[in-house]
Chains A and B, each alone.
Chain A
Amino acid sequence: MIQLILKRLFTYIPVLLVVVIITFLMIHAAPGGPFDAERVASPEIIEKLNEAYNLDKPIHVQIYNYLFNAIQGDFGPSFKYPGRTVTELIMSGLPTTIELAIYSIFFAIFLGVISGLVASLNPGKILDIVPMSISLLGICIPSIILGPVLVLIFGIWYEVLPVYGWGDNPGDKILPTITLGTAYAAIFARLTRGGMLEILGQDYIRTARAKGLSEIRIVIVHALRGGILPVISFLGPAIAGLLAGSFVVETIFQINGVGRFYVQAAFNRDYTMILGTSILFTFMTLTFVLISDIVASFLNPTLRDSGGLE
C-alpha cells in the first residue's frame, strides 16, 4: 500500500511540470499583458516594469527561472499586488477556502447520504420520488442563483442570517456552506441511492434478512458500507471541484478565499499568480483523488488487490 502511495506521489512531478509549462506558454500567448492599463504607460516605463519582473528575458529562461525558484518554495511576486508574494496571497485565502470546502462537503455528505438512504429504502414511493426530484433540482440550480436566493430569503426578508462574510458574524458560514454544498448533496443523494439499491439486492443482504436481523442493522452495518462506495470514490473529485468552484460562492458572500484569486489572476494577467494557483489546484486535485482512492480501497478489499490505487 505504502509503495503504491509513493508511486502515485512520484507521478505528481511530471503532472505538475506539464501543468506549469502549458500554463506558462498559454498565458504568454494570450493577448494583453500585466501592465496594460486604460491610462497607457510610456514605453520607457513598460520596459522598466518588464525588467523588474524579468519579463524581458526569453521565455525558456523565464520558465527555467520560475521552476528553479518554485522548487525552493518561491512562487514569485504578484504583478497585480506589488510588494506581495504569490505564496503570501494564496496563504491569506487558502485556510478559508479549505474550511468552506470542508463544511460544504460535510453538509453534502450528511444531506446527500441520508436522502439517498431514505430513497433507496422506499423505491418508487413518495419518500423516493420527493428527495430524488429535489436532488435533481439541486444539481440543476447553479450556486450563482441559489446563493442570492438564499440571501434574499434568509438575509433580507427574514433577517435571520448574515448576507456576507466568513467568521465575522454568528451564522455567516451557513448560507455559503449550503450554497456550495447543495449541488454535491444532490449528486451524493443519487450516488447513495444507486449504490444502496445495488447492494440491497445482493445475496448477503437477503441472508442477513433471513437471519432475522433488524432492518436498521442490515442497512447501517451491512449495506451502507458497500452502498456508499460510489460516494467515496466521488469524494476526491468533489472536494477538488468544491475548491475550484468556491470562486462563485466567495464572490456572492464576500469571502476572502483563494478561489477569487484563481479567476481574477487570469483577467489581470497576473502571470505568477495564475501559475501559483494552477499549481495549487492541480496539487489539491491529485491529492484528494489519491485520498479518496485510499479510503475506497480500505472499504472494499477487492480494490486493494485489483490496483484501485494504480
Chain B
Amino acid sequence: MRIFFVVFIFLISCSGKDDTASKVDIFSQQGILLLGNGTEPSGIDPHIVTGVPEHKILLALLEGLVIFNPKNNGVLPGVASDWGISKDGLIYTFTFNPDAKWTNGEIVKPEHFVYSWERILSPELGAQYADMLYVVKNAESFHKGKIKDFNQVGVSAFENKLVVTLENPTPYFLNILTHYSTWPVHPETVEKFGGMTSRNNQWTRVNNFIGNGPFKLDSWEINKSLKVSRNDLYWGNDTNKINGIEFLPIDNELTQDRLFRSGGIHLANTVPTEKIKRYREERPNQLIEHNYFGTYYYRINTNKYPLNDVNFRRALSLSIDRDLIVKSILKGNQKVSYSFTPPDENSYNPNTKLEFNPAKAKLLLKESGYDTNNLPLEVLYNTSEGHQKIAQAIQEMWKKYLGLNVVLTNVDWKVYLARETQGEFDISRAGWIGDYPDPFTFLDMMVTDRGNNKTGWSNSSYDEILNNAASKISTKQRYELYEEAEKILIDELPVIPLYTYTRTYLLSERVQNWQNNILDTNPYQFLSLE
C-alpha cells in the first residue's frame, strides 16, 4: 500500500502542469478554437449526414451559395457574390464569386452545384435531406424517380451563373440555401473515390477531401477529434481571424462540463440541467441562454379513440399547466408555447393562445362523453430523465384535473421512432427544430400524409391555406396565411405544444463576436479569439 502511494505521488509529480495557463489560454493565443461537439459525426458528406454535430463541422469545411447571417438570421454572399430574383419570384440567378475556390485551387463553378444537386436528388444515394430542394422545379419528381432526366430539374449553369427555377415563389429559398444539404461537393473527387451515388464513397477521407469552406480538413481521429485549419485559398480570409478549429466529440454532458471547467474547451455545447442555476450565479458571463427555433410538444394519434375527438384533445391541452412545467421542472429559461411555430417578435408572431383552464377542460371532457374508467391512455417517450419528469407532471395534471388514468412508457430511441412511425402510440413526446428560419419548416410538417405528421390528422383547409401561401411573394401575405393555418392547428390540436426550446451552453469569454441566434449557428470566419 505504501509503495503504491509513493508511486502514485511520483506519477502525479511527473505529470503536474508546469504553469497555470490552461489549454484554452494557450490555444486562444494561437487562434485555435476548441469546440465540444456532441457525438462523433457520422460523416462529413453534406448530402448524406443529417445531424447537428455534422452541421457544425461542415460549416467550417464547405460553403453554399449564401452564408447564414448570424446577426439577423438572413443571408450573406457566399460562393454567389450576387443574385437576382425574377419578378414572379420563380427564377433565381446567382452570379459566382470568381475568387471562390476549392482547396485544390480550382474555381468553384456553377456546374459543380448542378452536379451536387443532382447527386443529393438521385434516389440511389438515399439522401435523407433531399426534400430540402423540393422547392426547385421538378426536383421532387426526379427524387421520387418519376422523371429520369435531370435536365428537366430547374437548375442549370450558364457561364459563371447558376439559374434556379422554383416550383412556387419561395421567399425563404435563400434561407434554405444556408442548409448544408444544398452545399457543393467537388465532382471530380466524388467521382474518383466512389462515384456520384455511392454511399460508400471515400472522398471525405482526410487525404481525399476537397472543400471550399473557410477551413480545410487536417485530421480526423474517430471518437477523438477532428481538426481543421485556415484555408489560405478562401475568398473571405481578410476578415477571418480564426486559424484553426478542433472539434471534440464529447457525448457525455458531464464530461464536457468538467472539460470546460478545467479550461480544456472554449465551448461546452450542453450544460447539465442541475447545474444551470448555479452557473447563472457563478459563471454569468460564460453561461449562454437564448431562444432556439424549436418546439417541444406532445403528438396525438388522432386515429385512435378518444383522441380522435377534438374536444378530448382540447381538454388535454387545457389541463396542462405549462408555466409550472417551465418554471419548476425545466428551469432553463424556456418559453411557454402559445403556437406550434416558435414565435419571433420581429417577424412571425402568431396570435394564438394555449391557456391553462382546468374548469373548461372538465366541461370539454364531459362533452366528449369519455368515461374516465376506460383503459388508461399511454404517453410514449424515449428514455431520458428530462422527458420523464415532464411526462410525470402531465400525468399528474391529467389525473388531478380530468381524472384521467395515464400510463407512461419509456423505450429506447429507435423503438420510440419505430412506434411513432407505425402509429403504435396514443400520445408521444416530440420535438422539432426548424431547418431554416421560416414558419414553413414547422407548418408543412402537419400537412396531410407528410412523413413527419405521424398524427394521422388531416385538414383540407389547412392544406389549402399552406398551398396558397406557397404562391405568395409578399412575406406579410404569406405570414398572414401561415397564421390562419396556425390557428386551425391550435384549435384542432393534433399536436399539443408545450414550450419553445432554449439553447443553453457554456462559452469561454475569450470567444468574441459570438451571436445568440435562433438557429444556433455561428460561421467561424466571423469569430475571433482574445
Interface residues of A (CB under 8 A from B): 30-33, 35-42, 44-45, 48-49, 52, 77, 80-84, 89, 92-93, 110-111, 114-115, 118, 131, 148, 151-152, 154-156, 159-164, 170-172, 174, 250-257, 260-261, 267-269
Given contacts A160-B16, A267-B414, 4 further A-B pairs with CB under 8 A are: A36-B414, A83-B45, A131-B1, A162-B264
Report chain B residues within 8 Å CB of A255: 223
Contact of A83 with B145 in the complex, beta carbons under 8 Å: no
Between A and B, 15 residue pairs with Cβ closer than 8 Å are A31-B411, A41-B126, A44-B145, A45-B127, A82-B42, A83-B199, A89-B222, A114-B1, A162-B264, A164-B264, A171-B12, A251-B251, A252-B255, A254-B252, A267-B414
In the complex, the chain A residue whose C-beta lies closest to that of B259 is A164
Q: Is the CB of A93 within 8 A of B222?
A: yes
A193, chain B: closest CB distance, angstroms: 13
Residue ID in chain B nearest A148 by CB atoms: B254
Provide the B1-26 mask, 1 if CB < 8 A to any CB of A, else 0: 10110000001101111001000000
A148 smallest CB distance to B (angstroms): 7
Report the minimal beta-carbon distance from B218 to chain A, rounded to whole angstroms: 15
Chain A residues near B129 (CB, 8 Å)?
39
B334-383 with Cβ < 8 A to chain A: none
Number of A-B contacts (CB under 8 A): 163
**A48 CA / B451 CA spacing, docked (Å):** 16
Partner of A32, one of B221, B262, B415: B415
Query: Are B145 and A32 in touch, CB under 8 angstroms?
Result: no
Closest chain B residue, CB of each to CB of A250: B223
Tell me, yes or no, whether B71 is within 8 Å of chain A by CB. no
**Interface residue stretch chosen among B200-208, B325-333, B392-400, B492-500:** B200-208
Chain A residues lying within 8 Å of B143, measured Cβ to Cβ, are 44
Note all chain A residues with C-beta closer than 8 A to B148.
none
- Cβ of B185 < 8 Å from any Cβ of A? no
Contacts of A40 in B (CB 8 A): 421, 451-452, 454
Q: Tell me whether A159 and B262 are in contact (CB under 8 A).
A: yes
Residues of chain B from 158 to 212 with CB closer than 8 A to chain A in the complex: 194, 199-202, 204-205
Q: Is the CB of A111 within 8 A of B451?
A: no
Q: How far is the CB of A192 from chain B (nearest CB, A)?
A: 13
**Does B50 belong to the interface (CB within 8 Å)?**
yes
Complex CA–CA separation, A92 to B220 (angstroms)? 11
How far, in whole Å, are A161 and B454 apart by their CA atoms in the complex? 50
Chain B residue nearest to A34 (CB atoms) is: B414
- Asked whether B283 is an interface residue with its Cβ less than 8 Å from the other chain, the reply is no
Whether the Cβ atoms of A31 and B258 lie closer than 8 Å is no
Q: When chains A and B are docked, how far (Å) is the Cα of A174 from the Cα of B45? A: 37
Q: Does chain A have a CB within 8 A of B277?
A: no
Q: Does B419 contact A (CB under 8 A)?
A: yes
- Identify A155's interface contact among B14, B145, B262, CB under 8 A: B262
Q: CB < 8 Å: which of B126, B205, B261 contacts A48?
A: B126
A224 to B222, CA, bound (A): 43
Q: Nearest-CB distance from B208 to chain A (Å)?
A: 10
Number of interface residues of B (CB under 8 A): 63
For A119, give the chain B residue with the smallest CB separation: B1
Q: Which listed residue, A81, A156, A171, A257, touches B16 by the CB 8 Å rule? A: A171
CB distance from B130 to the nearest CB of A (A): 8
Q: Contact at A254–B259, with CB atoms within 8 Å?
A: yes
B417 within 8 A of A: yes
A31-B414, A31-B419, A252-B255 known; A44+B123 contact, CB < 8 A: yes
In the complex, chain A residues whose CB is within 8 Å of the CB of B199 = 52, 77, 82-83
What distance in Å separates the Cβ of B436 from its nearest Cβ neighbour in chain A?
Answer: 13
- A32 near B417 (CB under 8 angstroms)? yes
For A80, the chain B residues whose CB sits under 8 A away are 42
A48 and B124 contact, CB distance less than 8 A: yes
The answer on a CB contact under 8 Å between B202 and A83 is yes
Residues on the A chain within 8 Å of B264, using CB? 162-164
Residues of A within 8 A of B48 (CB): 82-83
Are the C-beta atoms of A31 and B255 separated by less than 8 Å? Answer: no
A35 to B414, CA, bound (A): 9
**A92 x B221 contact (CB < 8 A):** yes
Task: Write the chain B residue with the least CB distance to A261.
Answer: B223
Contacting pair B414 A114 (CB below 8 A): no
Name B414's contact: one of A32, A170, A253, A254 (CB within 8 Å): A32
CB under 8 Å from chain A, chain B span 241-298: 248, 250-252, 254-255, 258-259, 261-262, 264
Interfacial chain A residues near B417, Cβ < 8 Å: 32, 36-38
Q: Mark B122-135, 1 if CB is under 8 A from A, else 0.
A: 01111111110000
Tell me if A256 and B221 are in contact (CB < 8 A): yes
CB of B413 within 8 A of chain A? Answer: yes
Q: Which 5 A-B pairs have the closest CB atoms?
A: A171-B15, A32-B414, A256-B223, A40-B451, A256-B224
CB distance from A166 to the nearest CB of B (A): 8
Is B149 positioned at the interface, with any CB of A under 8 Å from its CB? Answer: no
Q: How far is the CB of B250 from chain A (nearest CB, A)?
A: 5
Q: Contacts A92-B221, A163-B264 given: A42-B414 contact, CB under 8 Å?
A: no
Q: Within the assembled complex, what's the spacing in Å between the Cα atoms of A206 and B200?
A: 69
Given A82-B45, A131-B1, A260-B223, CB of A31 within 8 Å of CB of B418: yes
Kindly report which residue of chain A lies nearest to residue B23, judged by CB atoms. Answer: A169
In the complex, A36 Cα to B412 Cα: how many Å?
Answer: 12
CB interface residues, B 113-154, toward A, < 8 Å: 123-131, 143-145
B43 lies within 8 A of chain A by Cβ = yes
Chain A minimum-CB-distance residue to B252: A251
**Which of B126, B258, B413 is in CB contact (< 8 Å) with A148?**
B258
- In the complex, which residues of chain A have a beta carbon less than 8 angstroms from the beta carbon of B419? 31
Measured in the bound complex, the distance between the Cα atoms of B97 and A138 in whole Å is: 64
Chain B nearest CB from A249 CB (Å) reads 11
**In the complex, which of the residues A52, A164, A254 has the most CB atoms of chain B within 10 Å of its own CB atom?**
A254
**Cβ–Cβ < 8 Å partners of A111 in chain B:** 4
